[in-house]
Structure 1
Amino acid sequence: MRKSSIVLLSLLVILVLAQFLRPARNKSSHDSPNDIARLHPMPEDVQTMLKTACYDCHSNNTRYPWYVNIQPVGWFMASHINNGKEELNFNEYGTYSPKRQRNKLKRMKEEITKGDMPLTSYTLIHTDAKLTTTQQETITNWIDSTLNKIDTTKSH
């Protein structure tokens, strides 16, 4: 066999074997009592926007597309989800200290305002997750309102 044939055959075997090594799924079977929506009530439209644009990577429940079953795509997605949850997990928001909760809200507003979230790599495929300017304003207005309520409660 020629060297190039051996290399191609080896790559094919590795790709086939990789299909059997799948990352764990990000699925929780229950609603979290620590979810941000339980701590800071939000209008239904804000909750829908956050679930559509953010929750796949920033919660304990991800909606998985069919192509996640193809490796290494599944590994790539698992890495994105783990990194996203490490940065902010909406389902675990209530476990954060009050200072961290405020900082997460401020950072969330900043990321949305700058257009850095949701990630472009995510919105290319999930076009419904791309936030319009109006949606960005709606979410950031809710964040401002929530921060004001926190500050008012804290000062009493």
Structure 2
Amino acid sequence: MKLIKKIGLVLIIALVIIQFIRPDKNNAETRNLTAFITDTKPSTEVTAILEKHCYDCHSDKTTYPWYAELAPVSLWIDHHVEEGKEHFNVSNWSKYKLKKRDHKLDELIEEVEEGEMPLESYSWLHGSITEEEKETLIKWANGVRASYNIE
């Protein structure tokens, strides 16, 4: 029993100490969606899907839930946001050349079709993307890609 108490005490101390490790927040002034919206022209329905399921991890501004203040969850969320922005960041859309924009939309389609996006861990707390929403998002992304006329 003494061993269990010692392990418990060490875990509590570690949990308290880790609270002092604070990752930088993804808190730009705005999401800076102008170039993305101008270029891709999402419908109201697509915009709602993107706002609900995508922008928090794939833009320069994240709306953090209360539990994002608690380590180790804060570190886990920070990792997901950084990785999401690395692969697809709508706030950087104006910096992408046409071919890269096409590739990013192709990746979006692939990830959504395969059920990889949004992440399952995100969906647990924010709700899953429905099949209808998936179809709407994929149809929109395919339409944008077709307008690029890249061969």
Return the TM-score normalized by structure 2. Answer: 0.89
Q: Is the 8 A contact 2:33 2:90 kept in 1?
A: no
Kindly indicate whether the alpha-carbon contact (under 8 Å) linking 1:28 and 1:60 is maintained by their aligned counterparts in 2: yes
- The answer for the alignment partner of 2:139 in structure 1 is 141
Pairs within 5 Å for 1:77-96: 77-96=77-96
Q: Does the Cα contact within 8 Å between 2:123 and 2:129 map onto a contact in 1?
A: no
Shift of 1:84: 0.6
Aligned pair in 2 of structure 1 residues 95, 133: CA closer, same or farther (>3 Å)? same
Residue 125 to residue 57, structure 1, CA distance change in 2 (3 Å): same
Q: Secondary structure at the match of 2:125?
A: coil
> Where has structure 1 moved over 6 Å in runs of 4 or more?
none
User: Deviations 1:44-71 (Å, cap 9, x if unpaired)?
Assistant: 1111111111111111111111111111
Q: Deviations over 1:15-71 (max 9, x none)?
A: 112112111111110352664113221111111111111111111111111111111
| Equivalent-residue separation in structure 1 for 2:55 and 2:36 (angstroms) | 11
Structure-2 change in CA distance of 1:35 and 1:52 (3 Å): farther
Q: Secondary structure at the match of 1:81?
A: helix
Mind listing any 5+ residue stretches in structure 1 that lack a counterpart? none
Task: Report sequence identity in percent.
Answer: 31
2: CA distance between counterparts of 1:3 and 1:115? Answer: 44
Distance 2:23 2:141 in 1: 34
Taking a change above 3 Å as real, the CA distance of residues 6 and 115 of structure 1, as seen in their structure-2 partners, is closer
Return the alpha-carbon distance in structure 1 between the equivalents of residues 18 and 4 of structure 2.
21
1:114 corresponds to: 114
